[in-house]
Amino acid sequence: MPTLTIRDALNEALREEIIRDDNVFIMGEEVAEYDGAYKVTRGLWKEFGNKRVVDTPITELGFAALGVGAAMAGLRPVIEFMTMNFAVLASDQIINHAAKMSYMSDGQFNIPIVFRGPNGSAYQVSSQHSQAFEAFYANWPGLKVVMPATAADAKGLLKSAIRDDNPVLFLEQERMYGLKDDVPEDDDFTIPLGVADVKREGADCTVVARSMTVPLAMQAAEIAQKDLDVSVEVIDPRTIKPLDIDTIVESVKKTNRLVIAEESHAFASVGAEISHQVMENAFDYLDAPVFRISTAEAPMPYAKNLEELALPSVEKIIEGIKTVSYI
């Protein structure tokens, strides 16, 4: 099984799906001749040409609208935003058109489209380029929201997203593009949307993490086992909507404690939704209040030391584990 970076796993998924289905094409800023702002589309334009890998002007609303129209006509566009912060300009097309078209047309139109790009913080890119949008998009019926945390998940989930007949927000993490993992060579390797993954089994405390916080949670779990003698189970939902709450609830029924680590802000977040659903379905199993770790409720600072203070960390997750374990 080859070891790939998340960047290369995404590239492999795109290449395989372009070959598999003549209706798949990629469109976005600098995706073609420049090989993509983060090199996710590296080599694809040279291999497949202008009709399958399409450069656009800096017009997020415009090329998102072209993508929605192409999906209505039966194609399967993959729309890359240089960052999901810029996708705010295209949110009318994503929310008012892609998300609602099947419902408003009484099923006459499916919108098999993927909107993908980096979500959340990078390194010192400040307030307007460090925002996490998963809760924003998950709030709208008709949209699916996916957040991979490993190279294997990135490949398998992206292939499933491209094959899905519904609009999918595929939210990557710029800090994670270089992380490596074993990835199956199978051209037909897919991971179903809406299925969580138990990244680490444990008995004493459940940590639900996603995207950037998954490797942080894994590190915290190792430290908790060694230094605190606390066995931590780490669950990655992978798909935010639809959410596999059953896997999370079953874990909480086993461990009786829950820590949620997320990069987004705490107010009206995915973590708040998970906390509420666990309360509804496993309240009697909780031996401690749910503990949440989120990004500070402030615009992201530019200064490196302040950025580190604002974001989730291994230390903050360990503190959460200690709190719910009454240590």
134 in the same domain as 103: yes
Q: Look at residue 231 in the predicted model and tell me its pLDDT.
A: 98
In a domain, 187, yes or no: no
122 in the same domain as 31: yes
163 in the same domain as 232: no
Q: Among residues 154, 182, 210, which one ends one of the domains?
A: 182
Banded model confidence at residue 1, pLDDT cuts 50, 70, 90: confident
* Non-local CB neighbours of 166 within 8 Å, separated by 6+ positions: 102, 110, 111, 112, 142, 143, 144
In a domain, 224, yes or no: yes
In a domain, 10, yes or no: yes
Q: By C-alpha distance, which of 128, 150, 243, 241 is closest to 200?
A: 150
26 in the same domain as 173: yes
Residue 30 domain boundaries: 3-182
Per-residue pLDDT, averaged over 190-214, amounts to 98
247 in the same domain as 149: no
Per-residue pLDDT, averaged over 209-220, amounts to 98
Banded model confidence at residue 84, pLDDT cuts 50, 70, 90: very high
In a domain, 190, yes or no: no
84 in the same domain as 35: yes
Q: Among residues 140, 157, 182, which one ends one of the domains?
A: 182
In a domain, 208, yes or no: yes
Structure-block tokens of residue 115: 């909107």
What percentage of the chain has pLDDT greater than the value 70? 100
267-300 per-position pLDDT tens digit: 999 999 999 999 999 999 999 999 999 999 999 9
Banded model confidence at residue 78, pLDDT cuts 50, 70, 90: very high
pLDDT of 170 over the 90 cut: yes
Q: Among residues 182, 205, 223, which one ends one of the domains?
A: 182
Per-residue pLDDT, averaged over 207-235, amounts to 98
79 in the same domain as 12: yes
257 in the same domain as 150: no
Write out the catalytic residue numbers.
60, 129
Across the beta sheet with 232-236, what order do the strands follow?
197-200, 232-236, 205-209, 258-265, 291-295
CATH classification at residue 210: 3.40.50.920
CATH classification at residue 56: 3.40.50.970
Per-residue pLDDT, averaged over 228-234, amounts to 98
- Residue 229 CB neighbour total at 10 angstroms: 10
Q: What is the mean pLDDT of the chain?
A: 97
Q: Look at residue 195 in the predicted model and tell me its pLDDT.
A: 98
- Give the chain's domain count: 2
pLDDT of 79 over the 90 cut: yes
In a domain, 25, yes or no: yes
In a domain, 192, yes or no: no
9 in the same domain as 150: yes
Per-residue pLDDT, averaged over 194-207, amounts to 98
218 in the same domain as 149: no
175 in the same domain as 203: no
Structure-block tokens of residue 182: 């074993």
20-47 per-position pLDDT tens digit: 999 999 999 999 999 999 999 999 999 9
261 in the same domain as 146: no
DSSP string, 116-161: EEE-S--SS--GGG----HHHHHTSTT-EEE---SHHHHHHHHHHH
pLDDT of 87 over the 90 cut: yes
In a domain, 188, yes or no: no
pLDDT of 318 over the 90 cut: yes
